[in-house]
Chain A
Amino acid sequence: MDGIIQGFELLLHTEPLIFLFVGLVIGFIVGALPGFDSANAAALLLPFSIALNTESALILMATVFIGSQVAGAIPAILLNVPGTAGAAATALDGYPMKMQGKGTLAIGIGRAASTMGGLFGGLVVLGLVGPFSAIALTFQSPETFLVALFGLLVIGSVSGADPLKGVLVGFVGVLISVMAASVETAVPRMTFGFPELYGEVPFVPAVVGLFGVAQMLIFVSEGRTMLKKDKTSEGERGKRNLLQAAIATLRRDVREAIEGMKIALASPFNMLRSAMIGVGIGFIPGVGTSVANFVSYGEARRSAKDPDSFGKGNPDGVIAAESCDNAAACGTLVPTLTLGIPGSSTAAIMLAALYLHGVQPGPRVMVTHEAEAYSVLIAVVIAGLLLLPMSIILSAPLIWISRVPDRYLVPGVLMICMVGSFALRNSVFDMGIMVIFGFVGFVMRMNHYPVIPMVLGLILGPIAEANFMRSLQLSHNSPVIFVESWTSRFLVFLVLLLIFWNIRNAYRARKAKQRSKASDGQSPDQENQQA
C-alpha cells in the first residue's frame, strides 16, 4: 500500500501528468495511422525520454500504448485496416457495421468498451503486481539467468509464425549485445577497433533502426495501399468549412459515444469476460494484444445466442474485441515490471527506457523503483478514465490522420529517427548504427523474421551474461547451480516444457499440412471449416 501512495505522490507532479496527456495524444495519433504501431512510436520517443525522469519516461511509453489501442479501432472500422495488431478482431464486425451506415456508432461502442476494459485492466494490474513481485524477489543469479533465458525463448516462440526463426533472432540479439568489453575481464570482443562499441552497441539507434527506419523502408517498398480503399466521407466533409465540420463531428461523436456506452453497458457480462481474458493473456509474456483480441472475440461468438451474426456487424463483436484489447495492454505491464520480460513489443521498449535510465530490468525493479513502477500503473488507470473524453475530442483529427499519405509520413519519420539517434551521444557513428539496424530490420521483416526477439536479446543479453558468469563463479564453474534450488528447477522445467511445446506444435502443423494436402479433393467449404 505504501508503494501505491508513493506512486500517487510521484504522479501528482507536473511533469508526469503532462507526459500522461502527451503520451495519450501520441498514442491516439499512432493508433490511427495504419501500419505504424505503438512500438514504432515508443522507439522514436526513446531518445527524447532520456531527458525525462524515469517515471515520466515510463508513463509516456505506457500511455502511448494505451492510447494507440483505442485509436487503432478507427481505421479498423472505417477502412477495414487495423491501426494496431490488437484491433484486428475489431474490424471483423466494425467494418460491416460501417458498411451498414453505423460506422460512427461502432467507433462509439469501441471507445466505450475500450475505456471500460482499460479501467478494469489497470485496476486488476495495480492489485496483482505486488504479489507477483514478491515471488520474483526470491530469485538469485541462477534464477535471474533462467528467467532471461525463458523470456527470450517465450518471446521468440510466440512473436512470429515460425518459433525457430524467433528464437534464432533472439540469440542473434544476445550475441550483438555482447559486442563490447567483457563485464568480467574488460577485454573488448568484436568491437572492430571502434571505441564507441566498448560500452556496448548503442541501444537507442539500434531500436530506432529496427522499428522506425525498417518500417519506413517497408512503406517505401509496399506503400500503405489501404489508404486508397476508402474516400467516401471526404467529399461530404469538403462541402462544409473546417469549423462547422469540426463542431458537427464533435456533436455526432458525443451522441454516438453516449449511444455506444449504452450499448456496451447493456452487455456487462461480455465486457467483463473479455476484459478478464485480456488481462489473463496479457500476463503471458510475449503473447500480446492481438492474440487476446481474437480469443476474446471467439469466446463472445461461441457463447452468443446468434453466433452467425458475428462477422456481419454484431456490436457484441466490437465490444468483445475492444474491451479485451486495452485490458490486455494493461496486463502486459505485469511481467514487464516484475520479471523484466516484456508482455508486448511496446513493453520491450519500456524495458529499454528503464535500461537507459540506469535501472536494470528484472525482479528488483519493484524494490529499487517501487514508487516509479506504481506511478506508471496508477497513470494507466487514470489514462483509462481519460480515454473516452480524449478520444471524442480528438476524433475528427484522428480520422484525418489515418489518411496521411506516405509522402509526408516517410521523410518526416526518417527525420525524427536520424535526429533522435544522433542526439543521444552527439555522434554520427550512432546514426550509422541506426542505418545498419534499419537495413537488418527491413530484410528480416520482408523475410518474415520477427524483430521483437532481437530487441529483447539486446536488453537481456548483458543481464543474462552477468548472472550466468556470477552463477558459475559461485559454483566454481559447475553448471549444477542452475538446478540447485526448487525455483531454478521449476524454471528449467518451464524452459524444457516450452521447447517441447514448440516441437509438438511444429509436428502438429506439419501433420495438418499433410492432411490438408490429402484433402485437396474436398469442397472449399469443407476446407474452410477445417481451417
Chain B
Amino acid sequence: MSLFRLFVPASFAGFALLFTVNIWDLGFRSTVFPYVAIILILILSTVVFVKEVIAIRKHRQAEPAQYFSEIPKTPEPEPGTSLKDVFLSTYLQPSITLAMLVGYVYAIPLAGFYVVTFVFLVAVSLVIGISWRQLPLVMIVMGLTTVFSYYGFTHLLQIHLP
C-alpha cells in the first residue's frame, strides 16, 4: 500500500521521459513549450517522489497502528491483516470494474452496442455486490437509463449509436 504512493510521481516522470524520447528529433518551434513543461514535471515529480520516500520511511519506523491511522479513507485493518489484504480491499473491485470497461470498449465492434452494454451492466452490478434477487430491479433502472440515453442522443442530439 505504502509503496503504491510512489507510483503516481514515478509514472508522471515516466510519462514526461516518454514524451521527451518521442519529440527528441523534432525542431525547436515544435518542442520548446513541451520541453518547458517536461522540465517542470521532472523537477516536481522528483521532489514529490523524494517526499513520499521520506514519509514512507518515517511511517515504517513508527508503530504499525500509528501508520494505519495516518492513511486516510482506509478502514482500520483487523489485527493481523497484511498490507496486501488492505491493498486488495481498496483496489480489487475497481480494478475488475476497470478491466470490464476496457473489455466493453473492445467488445462493442464485435457484438454490438446494446448486447455488450447489457452484459457489461449486469457484470458491474454483480461486481458491486448486488444479489441475484436485486438484479431485476437493477436491470429496470439500467434499462431506463439506456432508453433515456438512446432517446437523448438519437432524437435530441441526432447522434446515431452503433
Decide if A and B are genuine partners.
Answer: yes
Q: Of residues 121 to 150 in A, which have CB atoms within 8 Å of B's CB atoms?
A: none
Closest B residue, CB atoms, query A185: B30
Q: Is A174 at the interface (CB under 8 A from chain B)?
A: yes
Q: Quick check: is A449 within 8 A (CB to CB) of the other chain? A: yes
Tell me the residues in window 381-419 of chain A with beta carbons closer than 8 Å to chain B beta carbons.
406-408, 410-412, 414-416, 418-419
The answer to whether B15 touches A468, judged by C-beta atoms less than 8 angstroms apart, is no
Q: In the complex, are the beta carbons of B44 and A443 less than 8 A apart?
A: no
B12, B16, B34: the one within 8 Å of A189 (CB): B34
Q: Are B22's CB and A189's CB within 8 A?
A: yes
B125's nearest neighbour on chain A, judged by CB, is: A411
CA distance A448 to B4 in the complex (A): 12
Residues from 495 to 524 in A contacting B, C-beta threshold 8 Å: none
What chain B residues lie within 8 Å of A416 (beta carbons)? Answer: 145, 149
Contact yes or no, A178 B33, CB < 8 A: yes
- Residue of chain B at shortest CB distance from A213: B101
Indicate whether A95 reaches chain B with its CB closer than 8 angstroms: no
Q: Tell me the bound Cα distance from A435 to B97 in angstroms.
A: 10
Contact partners of B40 in chain A: CB under 8 A: 171
**Count: A-B pairs, CB below 8 Å:** 167
Q: Is the CB of B161 within 8 A of A172?
A: no
Pairwise interchain contact A217-B157, C-beta atoms closer than 8 A: no
Within 8 A of B (CB), among A296-311: none
A5 in the interface (beta carbon within 8 A): no
Give, as a whole number of angstroms, the nearest-CB distance from A527 to chain B: 15
Known: A48-B157, A415-B145. A171 touches B44 (CB 8 A): yes
Most buried by A among B5, B32, B97, B158: B97
Kindly state whether residue B141 has any CB partner on chain A within 8 Å: yes
Q: What is the bound-complex CA distance between A167 and B47, given in angstroms? A: 12
Query: Complex: how many Å from CA A358 to CA B5?
Result: 39
* Distance of B98 from chain A, by nearest CB (Å): 6
Q: Are A407 and B125 in contact (CB under 8 A)?
A: yes
Least CB distance from B40 to A in Å reads 5
Complex Cα distance, B109 from A172, in Å, reads 32
Given A221-B94, A443-B7, CB of A168 within 8 Å of CB of B146: no
Q: Are A164 and B44 in contact (CB under 8 A)?
A: yes
Shortest distance from the beta carbon of A48 to any chain B beta carbon, whole Å: 7
Cα separation A174 to B44 with both chains bound (whole Å): 14
Pair B98/A190 contact, Cβ less than 8 Å: no
Report B116-162 residues with CB < 8 Å from chain A CB: 117, 121, 124-125, 127-130, 134, 137-138, 141-142, 145-146, 149, 152-153, 156-162
A449 vs B51: C-alpha distance when bound (angstroms): 14
Q: Which of B1-16 contact A (CB under 8 A)?
A: 4-5, 7-9, 12, 15-16
Establish whether residues B141 and A412, one from each chain, have CB atoms under 8 Å apart when the complex forms.
yes
* Dominant secondary structure of chain B at its interface with chain A: helix
Encoded as 1 (CB less than 8 Å from any B CB) or 0, chain A from 180 to 203 comes to: 001011010110000000000000
Inter-chain contact B41/A168, CB cutoff 8 Å: yes
The B-contacting residues of A in range 367-389, CB under 8 angstroms, are none
Which residues in window 417-464 of A have CB below 8 A to B? 418-419, 422-423, 426, 428, 431-432, 435, 438-439, 442-444, 446-449, 461, 464
| Contacting residues of chain A (81-112) with chain B, CB-CB under 8 angstroms | none
Asked whether B68 is an interface residue with its Cβ less than 8 Å from the other chain, the reply is: no
Q: Is the CB of A175 within 8 A of B37?
A: yes
Residue B65 CB within 8 A of the other chain:
no
Is there an interface contact between A468 and B33, defined as CB atoms closer than 8 Å? yes
In the complex, residue of chain A having the shortest beta-carbon distance to the beta carbon of B103: A435
Is A217 touching B48 in the complex (CB atoms < 8 A)? no
Residue contact A175 to B19, C-beta cutoff 8 Å: yes
Q: Is A222 an interface residue (CB 8 A)?
A: yes
- Which B residues lie within 8 Å of A164 (CB)? 44, 47-48, 51
A254 interface contact, C-beta 8 A:
no
Q: Are B134 and A438 in contact (CB under 8 A)?
A: no
The answer, yes or no, to whether B72 is at the interface (CB within 8 Å) is yes
Q: Bound state CA distance, A174 and B41, in angstroms? A: 10
Residues A48 and B152 in contact, CB atoms below 8 Å apart? yes
**Which of B18, B30, B38: most chain A CB closer than 10 A?**
B30
Contact B93 A221, beta carbon cutoff 8 Å: yes
| CA gap between A220 and B101 in the complex, in Å | 13
Task: Identify B30's interface contact among A165, A182, A449, CB under 8 A.
Answer: A182
Residues of B close to A213: CB separation below 8 A: 101
**Chain A contacts for B90, CB-based, 8 A:** 221-222, 446
**A168-B48, A175-B37, A443-B7 are known contacts. Are A435 and B101 too (CB-CB below 8 A)?**
yes
| Alpha-carbon distance A219/B73, docked complex (angstroms) | 12
Q: Would you call B102 an interface residue if the criterion is a C-beta within 8 Å of the partner chain's C-beta atoms?
A: yes
Which A residues are CB-close (under 8 A) to B125?
407, 411
- How far does the alpha carbon of A362 sit from the alpha carbon of B102 in the complex, in Å? 36
- Counting CB contacts under 8 A, is A218 at the interface? yes
A465 CB within 8 Å of chain B: yes
B30 touches A415 (CB 8 A): no
Structural contact, A185 and B44, CB atoms closer than 8 A: no
**Cα(A439)–Cα(B91), bound, Å:** 11
Q: Is the CB of A221 within 8 A of B91?
A: yes
The distance from the CB of A227 to the nearest CB of chain B, in whole angstroms, is: 13
Q: CB-CB < 8 A to A226: which residues of B? A: none
Shortest Cβ distance from A164 into B: residue: B48
Please give, as numbers and ranges, the residues of chain B lying within 8 Å of A406 by CB-CB distance: 128
- Choose from B15, B29, B36, B97 the contact partner of A185 (Cβ within 8 Å): B29
Top 3 A-B pairs, shortest CB-CB distance: A217-B94, A168-B44, A182-B30
**Known contacts A217-B98, A411-B125, A444-B8, then 10 further A-B pairs from the complex at CB < 8 Å, ordered by chain A residue:** A175-B15, A175-B41, A185-B29, A220-B127, A419-B161, A423-B153, A426-B160, A431-B105, A435-B101, A438-B98
By a beta-carbon cutoff of 8 Å, the part of chain B in contact with chain A is: 4-5, 7-9, 12, 15-16, 18-19, 22-23, 26-27, 29-34, 36-38, 40-41, 44-45, 47-48, 51, 72-73, 90-91, 93-94, 97-98, 101-102, 104-105, 108-109, 117, 121, 124-125, 127-130, 134, 137-138, 141-142, 145-146, 149, 152-153, 156-162
| 21 A-B residue pairings within 8 Å (CB atoms) | A50-B157, A51-B158, A175-B16, A175-B34, A184-B30, A187-B27, A189-B30, A216-B97, A221-B93, A222-B73, A408-B141, A410-B124, A411-B128, A411-B141, A411-B142, A415-B149, A422-B161, A423-B159, A431-B108, A449-B8, A469-B29
